[in-house]
């Protein structure tokens, strides 16, 4: 069996959730490390590829500013995850199309076997 293409939406959705979860811990980590500024990317962020627009602003000093900044971080990182996932799947589909697909094996799950314990 060969994989010739992947669907974009499920992969983009998974990366958006993963990146969004990272965004939840990003601002508290910066506050604990006494960082001077916050950097929030929107775009494609992957190893050896950085095509993003970065929002730079000072670390929040008030509670409400920290909450709003954290919410904005989650949104920015989720958008970045979705864009990165989309770019990754499109790149995979392009390469797989030109190479004739990627070799894969299919594993069929068997039905669960109900084993009753022996009564002595």
Between CA 25 and CA 95, with CA 42 as vertex, the angle to 5 degrees is 110
Quick one: how far is CA 79 from the chain centroid?
A: 9
Please tell me the distance from the alpha carbon of residue 85 to that of residue 3, in angstroms, as a whole number.
17
**First vs last Cα of the chain: how many Å apart?**
48
Per DSSP bridges, beta strands 49-58 and 37-46 are antiparallel
Q: Residues 40-77: pLDDT tens digits?
A: 888 887 777 778 888 888 888 888 988 898 899 999 99
Please tell me the distance from the alpha carbon of residue 86 to that of residue 12, in angstroms, as a whole number.
5
Q: Residues 80-97: pLDDT tens digits?
A: 999 999 999 999 999 988
Please tell me the distance from the alpha carbon of residue 35 to that of residue 47, in angstroms, as a whole number.
24
The domain segmentation of the chain, as residue ranges, is 2-59+78-103
Whether the full predicted model's pTM is greater than 0.85, yes or no, is: no
């Amino acid at each position: 069996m060969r994989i010739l293409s992947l669907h974009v939406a499920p992969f983009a959705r998974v990366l958006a959730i993963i990146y969004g979860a990272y965004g939840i811990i990003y601002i508290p980590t910066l506050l604990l490390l006494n960082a001077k500024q916050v950097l929030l990317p929107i775009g494609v962020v992957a190893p050896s590829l950085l095509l993003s627009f970065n929002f730079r602003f000072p670390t929040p000093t008030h509670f409400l500013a920290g909450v709003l900044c954290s919410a904005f971080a989650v949104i920015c990182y989720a958008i970045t995850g979705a864009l990165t996932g989309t770019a990754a799947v499109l790149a995979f589909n392009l390469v797989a199309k030109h190479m004739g697909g990627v070799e894969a094996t299919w594993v069929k799950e068997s039905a669960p076997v109900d084993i009753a314990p022996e009564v002595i």
